[in-house]
Amino acid sequence: MTAVLYNRGYRCVFRPAVEARTGNPSTCLTGPRHALKTVYDIKGPVKFRRFTTSERMPKKGKKGGKKKGKSSSSKHDSDKVEGLEADAGTMMDITDADGKLKPGSAADGKGGKKKKKGKKKKVSTADKALEKLEKAADKLKANKIFFIPFVNRMDRWLAANSQLAVQLFKKCDQEEEGYINYDDFKSGMFDLGVICNRVELHLLAKLMDRENSGDIDYYDIPKGLQYVRELEEMEKEAEEAENILIKTDRTMDHCKVCKMGINGPSMIKNPRYLLLELVFVTFHANADHPWHLEELVHTHIPVCGLLQLIAELTGIQSTKLSLFNDKSRNREAMLPPDMTLKELGYEGESQNEPEETTLYYDYKVEFTGCPILLCDHYFGEEIKLGQRYRPSAEKTAKTKSERKILS
C-alpha cells in the first residue's frame, strides 16, 4: 500500500517496506541526498523522504491564466492509491489496524468538515415582551405568600364590579359569542379602574381563562375566582393524603453583595388558619370595647407571638400579659407561651374558611416607673388601698416648725 501526503509544500510518500514482514527496516527510496526517517504502521515500518526542490508540489496558477502543464512531480502521482487522501497538515497515518479509513479523517465521508448550523429564527419584539410577561406571571403564581391574598382581593373586586364588566365586554364582542381575547380584557379592566399592574393583570387574565384557550368567557366574571380556591384546596388535600416523606433541599435567597445564603424563617407548605376573637377579660361584657380584637392567624404561631401581636395592637406596655382559653383567668386556663396553637389542640381550617375561636387576655399593672411611688415621702409607712393618706404626728410637727422658721 502506498499513500502520498501533502504537508507545507512537500510531497511525502509512505510505502510499506517489503522487508516489513521479516521485521527489518526497508531501504527503498534511499539515497545520499534524501533525509530518512522510519515511521511505524500497524503492518510494519514505513519509510518517507523529503523530496528535492524539483520534486516539490507545484504552485497554483493565477485566476484567468493559462493552465500549466504537469510538473515533474506528476510522475509520483502513480504512487497514490485511488480514493485515498490524507488529512492536510498532518504526518499521521489515516488507516486503522484493519487497513480501513479512520473515522473523522478527511477521506472519511462522515468526518471532515462540520455541518453548517441553521440560522436562528428571528423573534419579534412583541413575542419577546409576551414571553417576559409570561415568566413574570408564573413567578408571581408560584409565590404563595403573594398569590393567595391576590386571589382573594381580585375575587372581591370582580364580585363588586361584575355587572359593569359584563356590560362593557358585550360592546367589545361584536359577534356576540361571549368570548374576548386577552388584550380586550386587559383594556376593559384598566377602564374599570382595577388596581393592578401589567404583570398582575396578565396573571388575572390567565386565571379567568379556565380552558387555557387564549379567550375569556366574560359571563364567568360574576363567579369570580372561587374555582381557583377550590383547586388549591384539592391540591393540598391530595398532598396530605399521600403522606410520603420526600427529602427536599432547602433553597435560600442570596445576598446581592456577598452572595451568601440568607437564613430566613422556615415556611410551612400547607398552613392551617384560625380566626381568633381576642377578648379583653376586664371589659368582656362590653362588646364594642376597642381592645376586643379579631385576627386571622396560622396554627403554628406560638402563644408568645400572639401576646406580642396583642401588645402591638393595643399599646400595652406591661410585660405580665397572659392568654386564657376562658374567662376564669386561673392557672389551669392560662396558655403556656412556649407552645403553638396547634400543639394546644387548635387544628384550624383553610384560609378561605378558617376555624373561629375565642381566647381571652389580661395583664397586670407594673409600677416600676411611677414617679409618685418612687417618692421618698411614702417610705416606711403602710398604705392600704381605699384609705386616704394621713401623715403621722411627728411629720406634721416637723412641717409646722419648718414653716415658722421660714416665716
Set of cell numbers at residue 136: 413574570
Residue 137 and residue 235 in one domain: yes
> Is 241 within 8 Å of 258 (Cβ atoms)?
no
At what angle are helices 144-172 and 198-208 packed, to 10 degrees? 70
| Residues 153 and 194: beta-carbon distance below 8 Å | no
Q: Pick from 118, 279, 153: which is nearest to 228 by CA?
A: 153
Query: For residue 233, is it within any domain?
Result: yes
Domain endpoint, select from 244, 262, 297: 244
- Residue 19 resides in a domain: no
- Same domain membership, residue 283 and residue 240: no
Same domain, 240 and 150: yes
Q: Which residue has the cell 445576598?
A: 255
Q: Could you tell me the CA-to-CA distances from 228 to 152, 183, 211, 352 in Å, in that order?
A: 10, 22, 13, 11
Q: Is residue 160 part of a domain?
A: yes
Give residue 11's pLDDT.
45
Range of the domain at 356: 273-363
The reported pLDDT for the residue numbered 47 is 47
Which bin fits 176, alpha (ψ -120 to 50), beta or left (φ > 0)? Answer: left
Give helix then strand counts, H and E, for the chain.
Answer: 7, 10
Residue 216 forms part of a structural domain: yes
Of 174, 168, 159, the C-alpha closest to 189 is 168
Reported pTM: 0.41
Distance separating alpha carbons of residues 50 and 180, to the nearest angstrom:
82
Q: Is 245 helix (H, G, I), strand (E, B) or coil?
A: coil
What the block records as the C-alpha cell of 363 is 395583664
Domain match, 132 and 216 both: yes
d(CA 2, CA 81): 6
Q: Is residue 116 part of a domain?
A: no
Q: Report residue 171 CA to chain centroid gap.
A: 41
Shared domain for 227 and 303, answered yes or no, is no
Count Cβ atoms below 10 Å from residue 337 Cβ, excluding itself.
15
* 143 Cα distance to chain centroid: 9
Q: Are residues 236 and 284 in the same domain?
A: no
| Cα–Cα distance, 223 to 254 (Å, whole number) | 41
Q: Of 274, 285, 288, 293, which is closest to residue 327 (Cα–Cα)?
A: 285
Please give the Cα distance from 368 to 406 (Å, whole number). Answer: 36
CA distance linking residue 104 with residue 92, whole number of Å: 13
Backbone angles phi, psi at 25, to 5 degrees: -65, 145
Q: Are 46 and 3 in contact (CB under 8 A)?
A: no
Number of domains in the chain: 2
Burial class (CB within 10 angstroms; exposed 0-12, middle 13-18, buried 19+) of 309: middle
Asked whether residue 277 falls in the same domain as residue 239, the answer is: no
CA 393 to chain centre: 80
**3-state class of 64 per DSSP?**
coil
Question: Does 178 map to a domain?
Answer: yes
142 & 213 share domain:
yes
Rounded to whole angstroms, the Cα distance separating 121 from 131 reads: 15
- What is the DSSP code string of 326-378? STT--TTTBPPTTSBTTTTT---B-SSSPEEEEEEEEE----SS-TTTT-GGG
Task: Give residue 359's pLDDT.
Answer: 93
- Say which CATH number the domain at 191 has: 1.10.238.10
Q: Do residue 200 and residue 147 come from a single domain? A: yes
Q: What is the pLDDT along the chain (407 residues), one digit of tens a residue?
A: 444 444 444 444 444 444 444 444 444 444 444 444 444 444 444 444 554 555 555 555 555 544 454 454 444 444 444 444 444 444 455 566 665 656 655 555 555 555 556 566 777 888 888 888 889 988 988 887 888 888 888 888 988 888 899 888 888 888 888 888 888 899 999 888 888 899 999 988 888 888 888 888 888 888 888 788 777 767 666 666 665 555 556 667 778 888 887 776 666 777 889 999 999 998 888 888 888 999 999 898 999 999 999 999 998 888 889 999 988 888 888 999 989 998 888 988 888 888 899 999 998 876 666 666 666 555 555 655 555 555 556 555 655 566 565 55
Q: Indicate if 229 and 133 belong to the same structural domain.
A: yes
Specify whether 221 is located in the same domain as 291: no
Among the candidates 198, 226, 244, a domain finishes at 244
Query: Do 288 and 351 lie in a common domain?
Result: yes
